[in-house]
Structure 1
Amino acid sequence: MKSTAIPFLDLVAVNADLQVDLELAWKAIIGHGKFVGGPEVERFERQFAEFCGARCCIGVANGTDAIELALTALGIGRGDEVIVPTNTFVATAEAICATGARPRFVDVLPDTLLLDPAAAADAVNRRTAAVIGVHLFGQMVDVPAVSAVAERYKLAFIEDAAQAHGARHSGRRAGSIGHVAAFSFYPGKNLGALGDGGAVMTDDVQLADRVRRLANHGRAEGDRHRHELLGRNSRLDSIQAAALALKLPRLDAENSRRRELMDRYRAWLPPSFEPVRTDPAAEHVHHLAVVRTAVREQARTALTAAGVGWGVHYPVPCHRQPAFAEYGGRLPVAEQAAEQILSLPMSPTLRDTDIARVCETLRGARP
Structure 2
Amino acid sequence: MLRWSKKKKVIVCTIAVAALVCSFLFFIRYVPTGFVNAYTIAEHREAVKIDRVSTSGRGSPATYRVQSLRNPKLWFTVKVARSSILELPQNVIEDTYEDGQTTYQEQLKLDKVTGDIEKLGFHGIDEEDIILDFFPTHRDEDGVSLKTLNLVSEDELNFRQFKEEELPRLHQLKTLIDKSGADVSRIYIDDEYTLSHIRFDGYASTTPLSPEELYDYLRNTNWEISNYESQVKWESEFEKIENERFTLGTDSTDLIYQCTDFRDEGICNEISLTVRYEHNGLTSENEHLTADVTAILHLLEHTMTELESYDLFFVEELDNTWYKEVRFTNEEREQFESVEQLVEKMF
Q: TM-score, structure 2 length as denominator?
A: 0.26
Larger Rg: 2
Q: TM-score, structure 1 length as denominator?
A: 0.25
Going by fraction, where is strand more abundant, 1 or 2? 2
